[in-house]
A = this chain, B = another copy of it.
Amino acid sequence: MSPKYAIGIDYGTESGRALLVDVADGREVATAVYPYSNGVIDERLPESGVRLEPDWALQDPNDYIETLKRTVPAVLKESGVDPADVLGIGIDFTACTMLPVKKDGTPLCQLAEFRNNPHSWVKLWKHHAAQPEADRINAVARERGESWLDLYGGKISSEWFFSKALQILNEAPEIYHAADRLIEATDWTIWQMTGHETRNSCTAGYKAIWQKESGYPSREYLAALHPDLVDVVETKMNCPISPLGAKAGGLTAEAAAWMGLKPGTAVAVANVDAHATAPAAQATLPGIMTIIMGTSNCHILNGAKLARVPGMCGVVEDGIAAGYYGYEAGQSGVGDIFAWFVENAVPPLYHEAAKQQGVSLHKYLEQEAAKQQPGEHGLLALDWWNGNRSTLVDVELSGLLVGATLATTAPDIYRALIEATAFGTREIIEAFTRSGVPVNTVVAAGGLPDRNPLMMQIYADVNNREFRVIRSALGGALGAAMHGAVAAGEAAGGYQDIFAAEKKMGGLKDVVYRPIAEHTKIYDQLYADYSTLYTYFGRGQNDVMKRLRALRRSALAR
């Protein structure tokens, strides 16, 4: 029998990427990327040039289809694989990235009458203009004692589905009413591939407050938010929710033609980038946390039981893999804090030294910082440059550095910032373990682990746990392909479920970062101080960070 293949397509913020893998062992055969022609739309709408408000971030749904048309034929061509040997296809996406569409799936932004209205376009995950709506969602939920609020760390984000939907209703009721469906872009893309709408448990659960047992928020709650929202679920969202790995359907002839695949090729239900990474990291069983480390950290973890972990992002049954409760937590600033530091706070001396060595400034600072003993720089930081997602769920927090002296150097601060993000991860892991959701080992994925071994060792030392590293540099796309292989099914040469798939197709690197006892001892002391400051500045003992943000806003408004 000829080898069989699956394709995973990863929809990122700036581009889409296809990955063709061998179903037998997950070997990555070919990949192709398509930079979205309209990228992130955050200043002016294409064509009309309509200017956007600050904090807006949109995408063009046509870029999702173009990704299919450009990247899949490219990987087929590069690999020489016969389309008949492609068993299945899956996608993973940023989320919540949502759009209003007509009942035939046509995005409102593709209709001339709505094209100049920003609310008709796709609201990207990092569209941050729905904060007033999120505030109202949270206030009404607290007031009414909605039981689901605790499942989302006590706070619904302005990035999530109902915040964005309510913003459309508030600011552009004509768009809201013209929309037959409000849908995640990941589900919409699957719709375009299979010809019918499906919805997946991951985005429904984590982004749209859906729970397997109780469904979406009640009509009463929605009516309390806004009278017109009372029937939003029945009229614009109703659709069976499929667990991850389920088959959405087969490729339509049209979609197959876009890609050069066979009509009827199995398509998995939609997925989210972070959650799709877990099986690629062989981390779907309880006790193994996947941390996707990049500009921010996303923590994905299955548990056998439902627990309410304070300050997590969400817990969703079947949210990562069917049969388990999937937990998600996050750190809103990691790589972007290091990038901020490198761009804004490193003197020329180090820039020149890095250039002379022919390494990046990040790498040079890491090398210098690696020469130090834990505790040597005398610094401690709170890693809140971009707020705190878990466990405080507070975007108004900000970064702190303590311990600076006239002898403090740039590598000192760089190391302290890495450590601060490791302490932030420890806060999350300790919150899970205190709540009865064990974390035994960790698998790191994403862009940072390969580039920064010092960071990995510090994370192992601070968290007193082994850190392993995912084999694939494209964990989301690989996970999506694995779900495609599951959608195809065992009989067709795929897999029965994602657990079977991850044993064969997922994988880890050989490197293992093991905690060094002497370091862990010192980091335990530093972590105690981190936790004290975490509570003092993060839980209302001293709200100076919020007052500083308020002063800044009012100064900028003058």
Chain A residues with a Cβ under 8 A of chain B: 333, 336-337, 340, 343-348, 351, 372-380, 385-386, 398-406, 408-410, 413, 522, 525-526, 529, 532-533, 536-537, 542, 544-545, 547-549, 551-552, 554-556, 558
Contact = CB atoms under 8 A, between A and B. Distances in A.
Nearest to A526: B551
Contacts of A551: 375-376, 378, 522, 525-526
Nearest to A408: B344
Given A409-B344, A548-B379, A385 B399 contact: no
A128 to B, nearest CB: 13
A405 B380 contact: no
Contacts of A379: 548
A332 B549 CA distance: 29
Nearest to A556: B376
Contacts of A409: 344
Contact of A375 (B375, B402, B406, B554): B554
Contact of A406 (B333, B372, B408): B333
Nearest to A378: B552
Given A347-B351, A400-B403, 12 more contacts: A337-B406, A343-B347, A348-B348, A373-B556, A376-B555, A378-B551, A378-B552, A398-B402, A399-B401, A402-B544, A529-B544, A529-B547
B373 A558 contact: yes
13 contacts: A345-B347, A373-B555, A380-B548, A386-B405, A386-B406, A398-B402, A399-B403, A400-B404, A401-B401, A402-B548, A532-B542, A532-B544, A536-B536
Cβ-closest 3 pairs across A and B: A399-B404, A375-B551, A378-B552
Contacts of A385: 404-406, 408
A380 B333 CA distance: 20
Given A348-B351, A522-B551, A549-B378, A400 B400 contact: yes
A95 B433 CA distance: 58
A542 B403 CA distance: 13
Contacts of A522: 551, 555
Given A400-B404, A401-B401, A544 B552 contact: no
A552 B409 CA distance: 14
A135 B521 CA distance: 30
Contacts of A347: 343-348, 351
Contacts of A372: 555
Nearest to A416: B548
A406 B340 contact: yes
Nearest to A346: B347
A337 B402 CA distance: 14
Contacts of A351: 347-348
